[in-house]
Amino acid sequence: MPPSHPFDDDKLKEECGVFGVVGLAEAANFVALGLHALQHRGQEAGGIVSYDPGTGFNSARRFGYVRDNFTKASLMETLPGELAIGHVRYSTAGSKGQTAIRDVQPFFGEFSMGGAAIAHNGNITNAIALRRELIERGSIFQSSSDSECIIHLMARSLQRNIVERMKDALRRVEGAFSVVAMTRTKLIGVRDPLGVRPLVLGKIGDGWVLSSETCALDIIGAEFIREIAPGEMVVITQKDGVESFHPFEKSPSKFCIFEHVYFSRPDSILGGRSVYETRENIGRELAKEAPVEADVVCPVPDSGTPAAIGYSLESGIPYAMGIIRNQYMGRTFIEPTEQIRNMGVRLKLNVNRALIRGKRVILVDDSVVRGTTSRKIKEMILDAGAKEVHFRIASPPTAWPCFYGVDTPKREKLLAATMNVDEMREYLGVDSLRFISLDGLYRAVGEAQGRNASCPQYCDACFSGEYPVAPSDMIEKGFQVKAAE
């Protein structure tokens, strides 16, 4: 497994990416390429399941990066067929350090009418209650993943075929789910009624593709057709093409706004908008809301770069790469001593001293989570001779944990949950600290009037504490949901 690094540990992490192909020879190879493009959504482990009429269902699940596992001919030859799905993952917050290969998706189940495999991006917020119920009724779980509940619910359904069983199962599920699944002949995609997590449809030759993001369509040369709508299920076969169903009650869309801020790759398209352009717009809004006199605007690489460019363009303050990221410190790097480990961020980032010395510096980052990395970066900038350091953050304060598929620290570990902005500025030791407002973020993603307070257009629970789906499991454990105003 890739070891964690201090720089990355202070970022919110998406937990999964999903990809599926039907109608292409050696489909698993296309899935491997798609997963490689989605590696930013999960770097701990990956898996692929394929189907071939001659050999049946075949699967491979491995820890580590896609490039280190699913590029080997000896492995890919064991995954024949024109239909395959895949998954990359992080472990959930509750299972850090306890991950077993049995937790790696896709999951497979053999039913009376044939087998089915499923890969899930998101988080089931009533998984504990479902798991308890299923175990009491005789189900035997093989993993600690909430996603396995879907397979057991399908197995217990009395519906006549796998597609209907999946509909039946997902109606019992609460929370966020973008699912890619497969039977012997069908590729299936489903988004939860709120559409919290992304899922898109593509086409390549005579084949069809489902993916978490459009950037993974690009890598295999597939044409982006459209997004799967919130609450929609698509069933795809070579014979009939794409069939669309709407098995859930219609609800207002609540797409995760943090996908625009950080999770999705900047070369993806979300809601018809370029992620890169949206992040540049966020920087422009931030410059309008939080101007400051300075000499240079620097991104905290790499996620702060588009917003820093936007801030520079709007403010007229020159943009500069004041911090350089070491792109070659991969997972094979060995940290042999405590002294080396304590170098922390310096192993990953280095200050461009010639650009920083004597300057008033604006540092633009996507978020502040625990604040530990921000403090270290500030120290590096000051050590390089900066006159002033001003932090500008391209998202509102992250004060609440996410329960919809994002690995978030407990609330008491989030800096914004225990401090106001002035206290955070003092804790970070910077000359000024400003976050984009929630309204400003909404304007940047295309909502000209800002946030609709009575019915927000996105899921922004990590900023507002307003959860569109009650986190049932966490409430059962004692989590205090924000009271309605």
The rounded distance, in Å, linking the Cα atoms of 230 and 111 is 28
Active-site residue 462, yes or no? no
- The encoded tokens of residue 469 equal 């789906």
How deeply is 225 buried, as exposed, middle or buried, from its count of CB atoms within 10 A (0-12, 13-18, 19+)?
middle
- Counted residue by residue, the chain has a size of 485
Q: Give residues with Cβ within 8 angstroms of 370, minimum separation 6.
A: 10, 409, 413, 414, 415
3-state secondary structure of 270: strand
Residue pair 360/387 in contact by the 8 Å Cβ criterion = yes
In degrees, rounded to 5, the angle at the alpha carbon of residue 178 between the alpha carbons of residues 177 and 180 is: 130
Q: Cβ neighbours of residue 338 under 8 Å, at least 6 residues apart? A: none
Q: Which amino acid belongs to residue 14?
A: E
Q: Is 170 helix (H, G, I), strand (E, B) or coil?
A: helix
Strand blocks (E) in 127-218? 175-182, 187-191, 200-204, 207-211
Residue 238 and residue 194: Cα distance in Å, rounded?
Answer: 29
- Cα 51 to Cα 55: distance, rounded to the nearest angstrom: 7
How far apart, in whole angstroms, are the C-alpha atoms of residue 369 and residue 300? 14
Structure tokens belonging to residue 15: 């937990």
CA distance linking residue 28 with residue 90, whole number of Å: 21
d(CA 88, CA 194): 23
Q: Give the C-alpha separation, 142 to 212, whole Å.
A: 26
Cis geometry, peptide bond prior to residue 106 (ω within 30 degrees of 0):
yes
Q: Find the catalytic residue in 16, 215, 256, 462.
A: 16
Residue 1 token pair = 């497994």
Residues with active-site annotation: 16
